[in-house]
Structure 1
Amino acid sequence: MTSTTQSDVAVADIRNRVSGSSFYTAMRLMPKAEREAMFAIYMFCRLVDDIADDGTRPRPDRAAALAEWRKDLDALYAGRPAGEAAFLQGPMRAFGLAQADFLAVIDGMEMDVAADIRAPDLATLDLYCDRVAVAVGRLSTRVFGMEEAPGNQLAHHLGRALQLTNILRDLDEDAGMGRLYLPRELLMQAGVETTEPHAVIGDARVDQACRKLAARSLDYFVAADRLMKSRPRGRLLAPRLMAAVYGALLRQMLVEGWAPPRRRARIGKPHLLYLVVRCSVFG
């Protein structure tokens, strides 16, 4: 009888959290090797994100934990025992995943650990999106078998589209952690001068700022769709499905608005299945 390790528990917990999500649905549509690589990338992201979001630990402790991940990644790419990062060895070798992209994700997590982000300027928000989403996109497009140039372009556009949609969807959850990712310039244009998260999301004028950010997200979706329709090499069903799901969430939010009280946008299973079929048949 084998014992259950802490690593086994972590894997089971993450699989349970991702099951039923649109991301899990997209992964299930992939061949086994690609599916396992994508789960490894997702697991890495969840583990470092959990460190950044762990409000029970002092910031220096969280920063130290992320620094340990950096050391483990250094060891992985140097061919030494890689500690917590050992599970990335197979995907890294099979798909040529770049260490710089994993490190960029950690850079993004460190932005959350250094201080609670509150109404960043647009340039800082774009940097954050590039680290926590676009870098993941670059890793993913390697798994999808895309060539570097179109893969990086798709990651640039779709990563930002997905992350901005997440920000617009998670206003209340982020405020509960003391965070506010809506950019300062758009809030000020809407007449909202405070950066206190609960005050901002409780102000009806937040809807104006959110709609302007949603317009930016829509532009990124359009650019990503245009690129995928150009038929670059690679398996694009998963990114097509993610774009369809998050695009549907964004359109739902645009209809309902962001003025309080809000309800979190969701895609029901019948709609998700429709999107799977549509992406599978029509591309």
Structure 2
Amino acid sequence: MTRVTADEAYAHCLRVAKRSRSSFLPAMRLLAPEKRRALLAVYAFSRACDDIADEPGLAAGDRLRRFADLRQLLHDAYAGRTETPLGVALADSVRRFIIPKEHFAQLIVGCESDGTVTRYATFSELRTYCYRVASTVGLIGLEIFGYEDPVARELGEDLGIGMQLVNILRDVKEDAARGRIYLPQQDLREYGVAEEEILRGSMTDAIRRLLAMQAARAREFLDRGGKVVPLVVEDARRCLALLRASYVALLDRIEHAGYDVFRRRIRLGMGEKLSLLFKAWTGRLTSAL
């Protein structure tokens, strides 16, 4: 069998990102080519994790076997003996940027839990989940971007948690349809919200207050995590600033909709995306941090 070249492997990762219509693609284009290719490999790996977790109708045993296969691919990539396009791209990226394997391993653990854990008792539990499925990707990204101050890792972790909290807020309806409620059970009780109301998609005053609190929590993490942008190497700041700004804008949209995430899926319009991209390209997002 003909060995997959690095160029072919990264081209595969780009196709994965385009096929999934990744909102990360515009930000990736602001990076230097070598860093952009590495981030594409990371995205393709995380996409593989998500696809296994979210594939409907997949038996529990089959889901576990698919994750085991992904762990083997990760092991082979770090050992430098992989032949799949994703494996080759990943092996090249982790070698160039010296990325800790544990970040990828924790990402798998987090996505794997989506098939078995449908409720989180406290925010502490949810935060651990967010770290695994989002902060790990941010920490991998930091190794690709480059940084010197070790505090960047703490701030990058916060930024990832903030971004995932926005995803959870936006996707309350879709997750409920899958039987998942990521909003902490402790918070539901505190705000007098019954699970059945979330599962039915009933927008009540109590739910609105609950979601407003979740939004405020997400914004705190985004604000704190945004301080990481000036700490990365200069040629990566525009990319990271755009990623953060996109989530801040999405959170703004949710707030402007009165936190009604049940009526329709809230997303950024093309005009907003282009405006943010222009601001990032001209450095205005970076200078604002």
- Counterpart of 1:88, as a letter, is L
Displacement, 1:148?
6.4
Q: Distance in 1 between matches of 2:78 and 2:209?
A: 46
Tell me, yes or no, if the aligned pair for 1:101 and 1:138 is still in contact at 8 Å. Answer: yes
Q: Partners of 2:34 and 2:14 in 1: how far apart?
A: 17
Q: Out of 85, 88, 100, which is 2:87 matched to?
A: 85
Unaligned 5+ segments in structure 2 are 3-8
Following superposition, the deviation at residue 153 of structure 1 comes to 2.1
Please list, as runs of the form range in 1=range in 2, the aligned pairs for 1:131-146 lying within 5 A after superposition: 131-146=132-147
TM-score, normalising length from structure 2? Answer: 0.86
Give the equivalent residue in structure 1 for 2:158.
157
1:238-261 Cα offsets, whole Å, 9 max, x none, are 111011111011011112123474
Contact 1:134 1:155 in 2 (8 A): yes
CA displacement at 1:27 relative to structure 2: 0.8
Unaligned runs of 5+ in 1: none
- Is the CA contact 1:150–1:232 (under 8 Å) kept in the aligned structure 2? no
Structure 1 238/9 Cα, relative in aligned 2: closer, same or farther at 3 Å?
closer
**TM-score, normalising length: structure 1:** 0.87
SS in 2 for 1:182: coil
**CA shift at 1:15, angstroms?**
2.1
Secondary structure in structure 2 of the residue aligned to 1:236: helix
8 A Cα contact 1:206 1:259, kept in partner: no
Distance 1:100 1:46, change over 3 A: same
SS at match of 1:18: coil
Match of 1:202 in 2: 202
Range 261-270 or range 171-180, more displaced: 261-270
Percent identity between matched residues is 32
User: Aligned in 2, Cα 1:93/1:167: closer, same or farther, shift over 3 Å?
Assistant: same
Give matches, 1:145-184, under 5 Å: 145-147=146-148, 149-184=150-185
Cα displacement string for residues 202-261 of structure 1 (whole angstroms, at most 9, x for unaligned residues): 2412222111111111111111233435x5544211111011111011011112123474
Change (3 A) 1:255 1:11: closer
User: How far is the alpha carbon of 1:11 from its aligned partner?
Assistant: 6.2
d(CA) in 2 for partners of 1:148 and 1:223? 16
Aligned alpha-carbon RMSD (Å): 2.4
**Aligned position for 2:107:** 105
Alpha-carbon separation, structure 2, partners of 1:263 and 1:36? 34
Query: Shift of the alpha carbon at 1:187?
Result: 1.1
Residue correspondences, number: 273
Instruction: Give the 5 Å matches for 1:1-283.
Output: 12-18=15-21, 21=23, 23-81=24-82, 85-115=87-117, 117-147=118-148, 149-194=150-195, 197-199=198-200, 201-204=201-204, 205-229=206-230, 231-234=231-234, 235-259=236-260, 261-279=262-280, 280-282=282-284, 283=286
2:240 partner SS: helix
Q: 1:76 to 1:260 in 2, by over 3 A?
A: closer
Of 218-227 and 73-82, more deviation after overlay is shown by 73-82
Equivalent residues of 2:170, 2:266 under 8 A apart: yes
Deviations along 1:251-275, one digit per CA (max 9) or x if unpaired, are 1111212347432222122222221
